[in-house]
Amino acid sequence: MRAKLKNSYKKAGNNGTAQTIFVYRVNGTQEEIEKYQELREAEGYYTEDEDGTPLYFTNRYYGDNITLMVTINDNIVVDTTLFDKVQSLAENNPFMREQLAAQMAAQLLGSMSNSTSNTVSKKEVEQKEEDLDV
């Protein structure tokens, strides 16, 4: 099964701090979706989008497009093979840690550089002395 990032939102965590929740839209074969629905309903966590697309929620960001898999214990989890390989490389090659981290972050966040950003003029950014708490 594959899933595509829909959005994220903040909710109160157990210790009172805000926790980010990432929401993914799940797609796959009819058999995969039926299995997904069956397992999530058994846990009491099945949710659909407005158009009937199943949703997957996690408190970790794994990228804009992820692969979901069903474990032998019938748990639905994100396939973290790529993360695990990079972590192993970093642990076994300490001199590569920074490069691997930078490369992984660039790969995960690459889509952000393609998005349209709002620009603000220098005049809007400049602070006046009366705006500052002195």
Q: What is the pLDDT of residues 50-96, one digit of tens each?
A: 999 999 999 999 989 999 999 999 999 999 998 888 788 878 877 77
Is beta strand 2-12 parallel, antiparallel or unpaired with respect to 76-78? unpaired
- Tokens standing for 53? 């697309």
Longest dimension (CA), the chain: 64
Residue 40 has pLDDT above 90, yes or no: yes
Residues linked to residue 78 through DSSP beta bridges, in sequence order: 68
Q: What is the pTM of this model?
A: 0.71
